[in-house]
Amino acid sequence: MRRLAWLWCALVAHAQGWTEADVSRAMAPFDFVLLLDQGHSVARWTQHLKATDRFQPCSTFKLPHALIALETGVITLQENRRRCVPGECHSDHGDLDLNRAIHESCLSYFRQTARAIGPTRMAAGLAKLGYPATGPLEPLDGFWLTGEMRITAEQQLRWIRRFYTEALPVAPEHLAAVRAASIKAGAGEWSIQGKTGSSRAGFGWFVGQMTRRGSSSWVTVLIKGDGATGMEGERRLKQLLQAENPLGSKGSGDGVRPITAP
């Protein structure tokens, strides 16, 4: 039975066109988890981390956070500007709207909206969205970055697919606006949407949706080690997408070794 499970995982990975060697080269020297959902199957690659390890969501949390801020009326599609306070942020972003706050990952903007939302409405909003991370909402203006909230790579993957494909229980125009704010620079033929997240503890996330020729996949990248950031995880993913053996092409099959079946 175990042999059959391994063969199934190998066939799934072969279908993606990425070998273990491809992924290891792209992610080196970091420890990593890479999960790829093409709708019919999930391929997985890891090194010294597990897809069930729990980490803070960091700035990937800004996607559900933005929806809650809109749904509670703390900001609106017409009135959503805030002034970045450099003392509570990693940079001085100046005056910015929601779209720029997501693109530039302005911590101060979302600290301000979290304080305005408050703990009761934040908890209710997360429950309504079915956001899978767990842990206390403390400190209120930074629990996703420095608090005890935790999420796994598997949970990130399931959530990001829902975010981009399901009619979540929010106003459709709010969902459309936050999705649009998550558009990233593409990679080759691929258009990409998603969000990075980084921790001073030395790990980084990228979660998102990738689309080519009308077909979408969903991805979670987690890297850990010196210099690991969400932007670096995104960059390594794009290297894979632009490689000679891209997603969906026929790979050699040599060294294919995703981790065990979900």
Per-residue pLDDT of the chain (262 residues; tens, 9 = 90+): 444 344 344 444 444 578 899 999 999 999 999 999 999 899 999 999 999 999 999 999 999 999 999 999 999 999 999 999 999 999 999 999 999 999 999 999 999 999 999 999 999 999 999 999 999 999 999 999 999 999 999 999 999 999 999 999 999 999 999 999 999 999 999 999 999 999 999 999 999 999 999 999 999 999 999 999 999 999 999 999 987 444 554 333 333 334 333 3
**3: CB partners within 8 A, 6+ apart:** none
121 shares its domain with 71 = yes
CATH of the domain at 143: 3.40.710.10
pLDDT score at 27: 98
Query: How many structural domains is the chain composed of?
Result: 2
Domain shared by 91 and 152, yes or no: yes
Note the pTM of the prediction, 2 decimals: 0.88
51: which DSSP letter? Answer: T
**Per-residue pLDDT at 52:** 98
Contact (CB, 8 A) for 110 and 102? no
- Together in a domain, 156 and 167: yes
Query: Which residues form the domain of 59?
Result: 54-181
Residues 155 and 41 occupy one common structural domain: no
User: How open is the CA angle 106-110-113, to the nearest 5 degrees?
Assistant: 145
Same domain, 174 and 229: no
pLDDT value, residue 182: 98
Residues 45 and 95 in one domain: no
Residue 48 in contact with residue 31, Cβ under 8 Å?
Answer: yes
Q: Looking at the structure, do residues 262 and 238 belong to the same domain, yes or no?
A: yes
Residues 197 and 176 in one domain: no
Q: Given 150, 165, 181, which residue is the final one in a domain?
A: 181
Q: What is the CATH number of the domain that holds 12?
A: 3.30.450
Q: Please indicate, yes or no, whether residues 63 and 172 belong to a single structural domain of this protein.
A: yes
Cβ atoms within 10 A of the Cβ of 180, count?
A: 11
